[in-house]
Chains A and B, each alone.
Chain A
Amino acid sequence: MLEIRNLHVHYGAVKALKGISLAVGSGQIVALIGANGAGKSTSLRAISGIADVSSGEIIFDGIDITNKPPHVIVFAGISHAPEGRMIFANLTTRENLEMGAYLRKDKGEIRKDIEYLFSIFPKLKERINQPGGKLSGGEQQMLAIGRALLARPKLLLLDEPSLGIAPILVKTIFQKIVEINKELQTTILLVEQNAHMALSIADYGYVMETGEIRLHAPASELAQNEEVKKAYLGM
């Protein structure tokens, strides 16, 4: 479904990605793990068109989407829940979700999707008319995921969905991610600090280090890998 070949991204003089290649198959959950500053978020930003690619290719469903503007990429079926839950602070929960469906015209279906989303995240329903900026961190995270889902993406890019979430909620968030993957058949590329959790729900995993892919293997294998255990699982 998604294939990245030899991707390079620079921020000015900083080389954030130094030729990474990875693939995400249809229906999979793929985890991208690595230390701070490894280039995980940059990879997602490059896919969704927010970061400029200096060389390499990003192919989605057989179409080259490298350096296409973000709104074109959303339209093609990729939706990005950016790091740090960038929700619209002055729009209400409902409006935030509606903005997620910005490119869709099917009003009735959008309403159904919002209802469905409330069944996944009941907390959001209680906050429906509150401005996004007034939600708690965890609620904002749910909102960011929900908003990305409302585009009805084929591929969902999640950047650290567990960031700043209470440990007890982290589990729930990951359960919801699996639920979204199974029930909506949404393919997911998941960036996580919480490598243990990410690998436990993923089909396949990539380990990044300073702008490069260090290792990649089926998630269950990665979780057993000595190097990974030491560096990312704290064992």
Chain B
Amino acid sequence: MKCHLPKLYLLLSLILCGIILIFEKNISPYYYQVIVYIGINIILASSLNIINGFAGQFSLGHAGFMAAGAYTSAVITSSMHISPGSLASYPAFLFSLICAGIIASLFGLMVGIPSLRLKGDYLAITTLGFGEIIRVIIQNLDFLGAARGFTGIAKLSDFFWVFGIISILIFLVYNLINSTYGKGFLAVRDDEIAASAVGIDVTRYKVIAFVFGAFFAGIAGGLYAHFVTYINPSQFGFLRSFEIVVMVVVGGMGNIIGVIISAAILTILPEALRSIAQYRMVIYALLLVIIMLLREGEFLGGRFNIKRLWKKSPAET
């Protein structure tokens, strides 16, 4: 089953792409938007999964990387006056996304370095603070629109861009994690001392995880900016980071498929609960608690187990 996963994913996404292509004109803009949001959240959650799940560095600053990418790409395409649909728009958008990734990964590098000295809660707080710093800086930069936000971004991203990037990301992550080099991340997460004792350069792995994760968060930011066409700093607050962390935790830290599924479900859930607007957040929170109780195991997890509701966890017994 394990080795068929990438092929299965590729097949499914091809089918999905086909369906969307045929029905693109018929899908209501609302559903289309939800689908794109799912995709963007999959990129965000999967990229955070590299940092939190694989390398075991608890980071709460993902929205900061996303913001860095969103603004970078928005500035680039806006200064080039790209009009959607023109032939030049495709390479220009791709270029802006790559720049978004690079700038975000530079920030990733900056956060990755304190992570070498900090652990657990301290690291979480530091990364949280760092994400907020990025946001506050943007809020005070007039050429980025400050608190008013950045308007008039060309609508360049669509379903195909988003799912194309997902495919690349999943392909990379999957191959990485099944290589000896990539297993180094899991080793670092399990035990840093043992990892260095077998010759793993722990420092390098942690920094790479942050750089790689931030790169894709930056791209997700770029995709987002060019889909909503208007961004402002408040869209990238710590609640955003928190949402992404929840997706990773619910999907199972380090579980590639689990995180994709949970990103999709947790994007749809609040939308589906719109009809009962008042109780929406209450139910959302309640469902989160139930999902966490039902989940079994952390790493090999993602399997649902009803018994978990009344049985004690192995750690407690």
Q: Which residues on A are within 8 Å of B, measured CB to CB? A: 48-50, 69-71, 74-75, 79-82, 86-91, 95, 98-100, 102-103, 131, 147-148, 151
Contact = CB atoms under 8 A, between A and B. Distances in A.
Contacts of B193: 50, 82, 86
Contact of B200 (A48, A81, A102, A148): A102
A69 B196 CA distance: 9
B24 interface: no
Given A69-B201, A71-B201, A82 B180 contact: no
A91 B187 contact: yes
Contacts of A71: 196, 199-201
B180 to A, nearest CB: 6
Contact of A103 (B186, B195, B199): B199
A82 B199 contact: no
A50 B191 contact: no
A49 B189 CA distance: 19
A75 B191 CA distance: 19
B183 interface: yes
Contact of B299 (A50, A82, A86, A90): A90
Contacts of B200: 71, 99, 102
B271 interface: no
B201 A89 contact: no
B289 interface: no
B198 A151 contact: yes
B39 interface: no
Nearest to A144: B194
B190 A102 contact: no
A102 B299 contact: no
A111 to B, nearest CB: 13
Given A98-B183, A131-B300, A88 B190 contact: yes
A99 B187 contact: yes
Contact of A82 (B189, B197, B203): B197
Contacts of A98: 180, 183
Nearest to B189: A90
A82 B194 contact: yes
B108 interface: no
A102 to B, nearest CB: 5
A48 B187 contact: no
User: Which of B183, B196, B300: most chain A CB closer than 10 A?
Assistant: B196
A98 B197 CA distance: 13
A69 B195 CA distance: 12
Contacts of A100: 198
B233 interface: no
B237 interface: no
Nearest to A131: B300
Contacts of A89: 190-191
A143 to B, nearest CB: 11
Interface in B162-214: 180, 183-184, 186-187, 189-191, 193-201, 203
A82 to B, nearest CB: 6
B197 A95 contact: no
A86 B200 CA distance: 14
A91 B183 contact: yes
Contacts of A147: 198
A97 to B, nearest CB: 10
A88 B184 CA distance: 10
User: Which of B184, B197, B203: most chain A CB closer than 10 A?
Assistant: B197
A75 B200 CA distance: 10
Nearest to A45: B193
B184 A99 contact: yes
- For the complex of A and B, list the 4 residue pairs with the smallest distance between their C-beta atoms, beginning with the closest: A74-B199, A86-B194, A70-B196, A88-B190
A188 to B, nearest CB: 16
A107 to B, nearest CB: 9
Contacts of B300: 90, 131
B270 to A, nearest CB: 32
Given A98-B183, A102-B184, A48 B197 contact: yes
